[in-house]
Amino acid sequence: MKGKGLSLIRVSRAASYPTRGHLTAGTRVFPVALGRGGIRADKREGDGGTPRGRFKLLRVWWRRDRLPFLRSPFPMQVIRKNDGWCEDPRDRNYNRPVTLSPASSADRLWRDDHLYDLIIELDHNTRPRIPFRGSAVFIHFARKDFTPTAGCIALKRGDLQKLLALLARDCWIEIA
């Protein structure tokens, strides 16, 4: 712990279930859903894997209409109806936030299912951005049945909000 919050959190998979695991934050342990491809050292676009490694937590994106009062140690970005995330490895905006157009195939951040009401952006594949090495890897809300994600880390709604309150601005996540 450094300053007023945790500077490192860890994610590990469950021994008998590769798409589920635990996030350890200090003395707290939260159940998580992982990517349908489990944790992968060699992350590739579309493989459904959660990338193995150590990543900085960059910024919080949130739906102000659904979570009107939210505090965060990270820079905050309100999700708008036309916000998306480019997942096309051939696009110059690959693995970056984009403004959606009618023809866009980007991942839509404004969703009806509440999974992206709160997102913590990770610095996976950002410096440098390498085509086909994975995009849009976030921490976000889990489905009620904890089904696998497309490669993100998902927590229960209340757990993610509790986690956010525990973190320091300089926090990293270690996925092993």
- The answer to whether the beta carbons of residues 104 and 85 sit under 8 Å apart is no
In CATH, the architecture of 6-175 is: Beta Barrel (2.40)
- Determine the Cα–Cα distance for residues 23 and 29; give it in Å rounded to an integer: 6
pTM value?
Answer: 0.95
Residuewise pLDDT in 10s, the chain (176 residues): 445 899 999 999 999 999 999 999 999 999 999 999 999 999 999 999 999 999 999 999 999 999 988 889 999 999 999 999 999 999 999 999 999 988 787 999 999 999 999 999 999 999 999 999 999 999 999 999 999 999 999 999 999 999 999 999 999 999 99
Q: Which pair of tokens denotes residue 169?
A: 């601005």
Contact 79, 98 (CB under 8 A): no
Please tell me the distance from the alpha carbon of residue 94 to that of residue 144, in angstroms, as a whole number.
30
Tell me the DSSP string of 26-89: TTEEEEEE-BTT-EESS--TTS-PEEPEEEEEEEEEE-TTT--S---SS-EEE--TTEEE---T
